[in-house]
Amino acid sequence: MPDNRIIVVAGPTASGKTRLGIELAKIYHGEIVSADSMQLYRGMDVGTAKATEEEQRAAPHHMLDVADPRESWSVARYVEEASRVCDSLLARGSVPIVVGGTGLYIDSLLAGRDFAACEEDKALRASLEAEYDRVGGAEMLKTLAAFDPERAAKLGLGDRRRIVRAIEIYRLTGVTATEHDAETRRRPPRYEAARIVLHFKNRADLYDRIDRRVTQMAEDGLFREVEALLEAGLSPECTAMQAIGYKEAVLALRGELTEAEALDLIRQGSRRYAKRQITWFGRWEDALRILWDREPDFPAALQSSTAFLKSRGYHE
């Protein structure tokens, strides 16, 4: 088997990715590499539905609890760290099983996108952000359109982060963000992935599962977890605290919402996020798609997954 083959288990939130990933890890002597942009952060366990201690004992997990929640991780940093993990696992004959719902992280990891040429310059970034705040999005888009009209046409006036980043890339490298992305797409992928996507035949069943998960999060101590983070000095404005579940809990702890109102908002936000995930993973043409009925059937999923993986050259 080539030494760049990995398995991916993806899908919308609450679709059963963690359990299937662990079962596959047991069969293929693999280890889990998380691809969740919020499970990176320490102290954020309940609200991110992070694998439990028992689940982590069942199969080794990587890319969990690797960041302080005061940090703001970019996709570039995730790719750098996760690819190092995958390469290490492959070198010792273990199968990396990438499990998660952050599609951009997964696609960037598989492609091996080279962000090295676009390293961040904090001083330049701060200067551009200040300029955006001073002149507004329309003017900054005009600046971007002067050298990268294609990227400018894709961005809205309020997309401060991406506008600033596109200008920053050009100022640092002389290459536009559009050119950099096109060059990346021309390269062969870093990893050959066998991709499995989980979903439900009836989207209402997924939403019901999401609703139940949010209720369980509250019972498991979501509000206590957020309160502890705030008491530890974490700013409610930091990137980690903008995650679904955390920003709503902050409002409840401030007294701006009741806990019940916050949970309703978390359910709504989670369902909207699931829609975006479904759209993202729907573009994967070569994936095995497992469609659950009202509840997941893991024995059947394992049977179809192992048959699919055997056809891709994986052996138990």
Supply the pLDDT for residue 55: 96
The DSSP code sequence of 168-196 is HHHHHHSS-HHHHHHHHHHSPPSSEEEEE
Q: Strand 30-34's sheet: what is its strand order?
A: 61-62, 30-34, 95-100, 5-10, 192-200, 288-292
Q: What proportion of the chain, given as a percentage, has pLDDT over 70?
A: 97
How far apart CA 169 and CA 172 sit, in angstroms, is 5
How far is the CA of 24 from the CAs of 56, 104, 143, 275, in angstroms? 14, 23, 49, 26
CATH class of the region 5-114+188-203+274-311: alpha beta
How would CATH label the architecture of 116-186? Answer: Orthogonal Bundle (1.10)
Tokens of 236: 């409610």
CB atoms under 10 Å from CB of 58, counted, come to 17
| Residue extents of the structural domains in the chain | 5-114+188-203+274-311, 116-186
The residue with tokens 């293929």 is: 28
Is-same-fold flag (5-114+188-203+274-311; 116-186)? no
pLDDT band with cut points at 50, 70 and 90 for residue 72: confident
pLDDT at 123: 83
Structural contact between residues 61 and 98, judged by C-beta atoms closer than 8 angstroms: no
Mean pLDDT throughout 267-271?
A: 97
pLDDT grade for 175, boundaries at 50, 70 and 90: confident
Instruction: Please say if the pLDDT value at position 116 is more than 50.
Output: no
Task: For 189-225, give the DSSP string.
Answer: PSSEEEEEEEEESSHHHHHHHHHHHHHHHHHHTHHHH
- Summarize pLDDT for 128-152 with one digit per residue, the tens: 999 999 999 999 999 999 999 999 9
Look at 91-95, 113-117, 204-208, 290-294 and tell me which has the smallest mean pLDDT: 113-117
Asked whether residue 205 carries a pLDDT value surpassing 90, the answer given is yes
pLDDT score recorded for residue 34: 98
pLDDT band at 124 (very low <50, low <70, confident <90, very high): confident
220-239 per-position pLDDT tens digit: 999 999 999 999 999 999 98
Cβ–Cβ < 8 Å for 38, 243: yes
Q: What pLDDT sits at residue 188?
A: 82
Q: Is the pLDDT of residue 118 over 70?
A: no
pLDDT classification of 1: cutoffs 50, 70, 90 = very low
